[in-house]
Amino acid sequence: MPKNDITVKQKGPVKRPSLIMIQQAGFGLVESLLAVAILGSTVFTLLGGLSTGAISVGILQEDIVAENLGRTQLEYTKGLPFNAAPFSYQSISEVPEGYTITADAVAVSERNQNIQRLTITVYRGIEVVYVLEGFKVNR
């Protein structure tokens, strides 16, 4: 017999029904606590995933900014007048807050002073976040 059914049985010729059994079922304390626990763990897992995603986006954004700054600095440095190595070239003027850039040049070989190896280093605070190397030629 399914739950929540009402069973009515009549006795004899009496027109009035008499209730023999009424069966009703509801949620108990254990079921309610179990449902709350499942809901809580689901919400906790969802929030953990969202926070991990937000952290990943922040790290990726920092990497992209650092790479773009490094490439911009390399092209800017190649356009500056040639100076004898070792030399530190001027950095670009528009750098986002919290970032610093250095552009250092060293001679490739002692025989040819017209080729330099450039090392562009991008810092976020005091931490190195990107290093790019290239060459500068005196033309």
Write out pLDDT tens, residues 69-100.
999 999 998 888 888 878 888 888 888 888 98
Record the pTM. 0.62
Full domain range(s) for residue 42: 32-137
Quick check: is 11 in a domain? no
Phi and psi at 135, nearest 5°, equal -125, 150
Q: How many domains does the chain have?
A: 1
Quick check: is 105 in a domain? yes
* Cis status of the peptide bond prior to 86, with omega within 30 of 0: yes
> What CATH number is associated with residue 118?
3.30.1300
Confidence of residue 122 (pLDDT cuts 50, 70, 90): very high
Quick check: is 24 in a domain? no
C-alpha–C-alpha distance, residues 120 and 113, integer Å: 20
In sequence order, which residues have a C-beta less than 8 Å from that of residue 66 and are 6 or more positions away?
99, 122, 124, 129, 130
C-alpha–C-alpha distance, residues 78 and 132, integer Å: 13
8 or 90, higher pLDDT: 90
Quick check: is 8 in a domain? no
Name the amino acid, one letter, at 95.
V
Name the nearest CA neighbour of 135 among 109, 105, 112, 110: 105
117 or 16, higher pLDDT: 117
